[in-house]
Amino acid sequence: MAAKKGSGALLARWQPRGGGGKPWPLSKADPGAKPYSCGDKQRDKEAVETLACEIDTLQDLLFADRRYKLLVVLQGMDGSGKDGTIRHVFGRVSPLGVRTASWRAPTAEERDHDFLWRIHQKVPGAGELMIFNRSHYEDVLVPVVDGLITPAQAKQRFAQINDFERLLAESGTVLLKFMLHISPDEQRERLQARIDDPAKGWKFMPRDLEVRKQWRAYMKAYEALLGATSTAHAPWTIVPADSKTHRNLMIATVVRDTLKSLKLRYPPLADGLEGARVE
């Protein structure tokens, strides 16, 4: 089931449509843009708080309704704000019916299976909201940039991902895929802040510096996957992420609008309970 476009034309401008595998140029998306901002940072922050509360209420309804499942994919370069999004957008949501999975390099056991094997085990069940911090798209980013798979193999994986996501959608899963689009200058500042802050330094690994040197290669890989896997049943949404507040505001708005569009409802009382009185 494709996510509904609650923000209409505004959202559509940030959702690339797959063009038969043709790469979608990220030059079309300004990472410093703020399309969902009212122009006042404090009011935007307050709006995020309000939206987070609405998402909490709607998630409770999702869990009770159980007709749908929601999978939120957060994908982006280091420092783009995946952790921050989870904290500020979903931090108020009850643990009941909500799970988060963070994806790293596959283990030896996972490498013995197809690349989607480990992913399928973590998708949401009925009524659940599942958040992927990174995702199966790592398998068409890192191996491509590092030259571990060929262009033909990458194309094959794109097709397999589309089929996999279609299976999920046709089984009642609403897919929201967010590409957190940050500029190299903003990333440099955030990575430096991690090094300088003892409370954040543990997040930084020496490989992060090597990955930063591969920026252009990663942008090219992102453009390829956006063009190949932004489908009607699982479109990508590009989120300008240089502003943390705007990033949170945009994602929270799309999540809230999507949940509202599902027309969720509480199930009726079990037979024999209507009019009952607890003594």
- Number of domains composing the chain: 1
Structure tokens at 218: 């990663």
Q: What is the pLDDT of residue 6?
A: 43
Q: What is the pLDDT of residue 79?
A: 94
Residue 217 contacts residue 224 (beta carbons within 8 Å): no
3-state class (DSSP) for residue 71: strand
3-state class (DSSP) for residue 15: coil
Q: What is the pLDDT of residue 95?
A: 84
Looking at the domain assignment, is residue 156 inside a domain? no
Looking at the domain assignment, is residue 2 inside a domain? yes
Looking at the domain assignment, is residue 85 inside a domain? yes
Looking at the domain assignment, is residue 95 inside a domain? yes
Q: What is the pLDDT of residue 279?
A: 86
CA angle in degrees (0–180, nearest 5) for 182-203-183: 10
Domain that holds residue 43: 1-12+31-105+125-137+165-183+232-265
CATH number for the domain spanning 56: value is: 3.40.50.300
Measured distance CA(155)–CA(233) in Å, rounded: 19
Measured distance CA(28)–CA(7) in Å, rounded: 19
Q: What is the pLDDT of residue 20?
A: 67
pLDDT tens profile 245-261: 999 999 999 999 999 99
Sort 152 into a burial class: Cβ within 10 Å, 0-12 / 13-18 / 19+.
Answer: exposed
Measured distance CA(121)–CA(101) in Å, rounded: 11
Looking at the domain assignment, is residue 150 inside a domain? no
DSSP secondary structure code for residue 268 in this structure: P
pLDDT tens profile 172-205: 999 999 999 999 999 999 999 988 988 887 877 7
Global pTM exceeds 0.85: yes
Measured distance CA(190)–CA(76) in Å, rounded: 14
Q: How far is CA 150 from CA 137, 141, 146, 156, 272, in A?
A: 16, 12, 10, 10, 62
Looking at the domain assignment, is residue 224 inside a domain? no
Q: What is the pLDDT of residue 18?
A: 61
Kindly tell me if the per-residue pLDDT of 278 is higher than 50. yes
Looking at the domain assignment, is residue 178 inside a domain? yes
Looking at the domain assignment, is residue 270 inside a domain? no
